Amino acid sequence: MEPNVLLESLIDEAGVSRAGLAGHVNQAGRSRGLCLRYEHTAVARWLKGQRPRGQVPDLICEVLARRLDRPVTLDDIGMGVSGTHTPAREAGLSGFVEHATALWRSDEQQRPHLATTPAVSGTMAVMPVWEWENPPEDADVSRPGPPRVSTADIAMLRAARAHYEQMYRKAGGIATKSRIVGFLNAETAPLLRGGYSDATGRRLHRAAAGLVAVAGICAYDSDAHGLAQRYFHQALRLAKASGDRGLGAYVIALLVNQSLHLGEFRRSVAFAEAALRAAGPHITPALATDLHAMQAKAYAELGDHRGALECIGRAEAEAGRIGSGDEPDETGYVQPGLVNIQVAEALLCLGDLAAAREHATAAVRSPAHDRGTVHRLATLTRLELLQGEADRAARTASEMAERARGVESQRLRDRLRSVRSHLAASGSADAAAAAVLIEGALRVPL
C-alpha cells in the first residue's frame, strides 16, 4: 500500500478532522440503513492506502462533497478502479495535475509517512519510464479558464528552478526541500490549473518539470527515497507533456543515479539505455556523458569489466564534445571533473586502483562547487588509504571535512561516515586526527 495523498488533501481542504470524518461517514451510513462504527484509526488506515469495503468509499465522497460544496468522485479520493496511482494515460493530464499537486500539499504539511515510504520496484518503478518513451503523446496540452498563464509566469518558474538548484548545492537538500515544495504549492500549482494555449502549456510544463525534478533531488538528498522517486516520476510526466525529449532524458538520469544508490544496478543500466535511445538526437553531450558514466559504474558493480570499460570510453568521448553555452540549464551539474570521478569510482569497483586514483586526482583539481568537491575528496581519500598512504589520506579527508561544514545533506553525511570509518581502521595517528575532524562536522545537527 502507498499513502493516499488525494484523500488526505481533500480532508484538509474540507477542514474536518479524522475523527470528524469518521463520525460523518457513520451518520451518512445510518441514512442508508448501515450500522457503521468508524473511528479516527480507520481514517488513518484509509490514508495509508487501505480501501474500505462496500458503500463506504461512496459515503466518503458524499461527506466531502457536502462540505466542499462540489461533486467528489472515487477517483478524487484515490479510491477509483486504479487506486491512488492512476497511470497518467488513464487519468489524463488534468487528472495527473490533481494527483501531483495533492502530493505537494501533503509534503508541505510534512506528513510523516511521505518521508518514510520506500521507493517502489518492479513494474511500478519501470512503468513511468516506459510511458514516457512510448506513445501516445499529448496532442494538445491547452487548458481553458482564468488565470491566463503568461510568458512572465514561465520565466518566473525557470528563475526559481535555478535559484533552488543553487541553494541545494550550497546548503543541501534538507535545507532546500521545504522551500521549493512551498513554491510548488504557492506558485506552480495555480499556474498548472490556469488557462493556456498548447504552445504556452508546453513551455509551462517544461518549467514545472525542472522545478519538480529539483524537489526530487532534495528529497533524495534527505534520504526520503519513496518521495524522491514520486517527484522524479512526476517530472517525467511533465516533461512528456512539454514535448522536450532531452528534458525527459535528464529526469531519467536522476532515476539512474537513485537506482545506483539503492543498489538496483540492472535497472540503472536499463534506464540509461532508455534515455539514450528515446532522446536520440535531442540528448546533449553533457547528459550523454553522465548517462554513460553511470552505466559504467553499474556494470562495474555487476562485475562486467567489458561493459564498464566500453561505457567509460563512451563517456570520455562525449565529454570531449561538451561546448560552453550549448547545454540547457538542467545539465549544468555536468561540470569539469565529473566524468573523472564517475570513472574513478567505476575503476575502484573493478580493482584498478592506480587508474582510479589518477582520475580522482584530476577530478579534485577541476573546479567544482563545495558539494561536488566533498564527494571527489571522499573518493580520493579512499583510494589513498587503499594504496597505503594514510598520512596523505588524512590531509585529503581534513579538507573534505572543512568543505562539508554547513551543508545539510544526508548523502554527504553518508560519505563522511564512510571515510571516518576507513580512517579509523588505518591505524595512522594523522588519520585518527582527521577522523576526529569528521566527527566534529557530523555533530552539526541537520
The per-residue pLDDT for 81 is 63
Q: Are 43 and 109 in contact (CB under 8 A)?
A: no
Q: Residue with C-alpha cell 495533492?
A: 102
pLDDT in tens, 5-35: 889 888 988 899 999 999 999 999 999 999 9
- List Cβ neighbours of 42 (8 Å cut-off, separation of 6 or more): 22, 52
How is 299-342 classified by DSSP, letter by letter?
HHHTT-HHHHHHHHHHHHHHHTT--TT-S-GGGGG--TTHHHHH
Among residues 375, 354, 371, the alpha carbon closest in space to that of 363 is found at 375
Respond yes or no on whether the N-terminal peptide bond of residue 52 is cis (omega within 30° of 0). no
Domains of the chain, earliest start first:
5-85 (no CATH), 93-243 (no CATH), 245-368 (1.25.40.10), 372-446 (no CATH)
The per-residue pLDDT for 445 is 64
3-class secondary structure, 72: coil
3-class secondary structure, 211: helix
- Length of the chain equals 446
- List Cβ neighbours of 260 (8 Å cut-off, separation of 6 or more): 268, 294, 297, 298, 301
Q: Residue with C-alpha cell 547545454?
A: 327
Among residues 259, 229, 251, the alpha carbon closest in space to that of 328 is found at 251
% of the chain beyond a pLDDT of 90: 78
Q: Are 242 and 276 in contact (CB under 8 A)?
A: no
At residue 446 the predicted structure's pLDDT band, cuts being 50, 70 and 90, is low
The per-residue pLDDT for 252 is 98
For the segment 138-151, the average pLDDT, to the nearest whole number, is: 93
Q: Residue with C-alpha cell 564527494?
A: 375
Respond yes or no on whether the N-terminal peptide bond of residue 147 is cis (omega within 30° of 0). yes
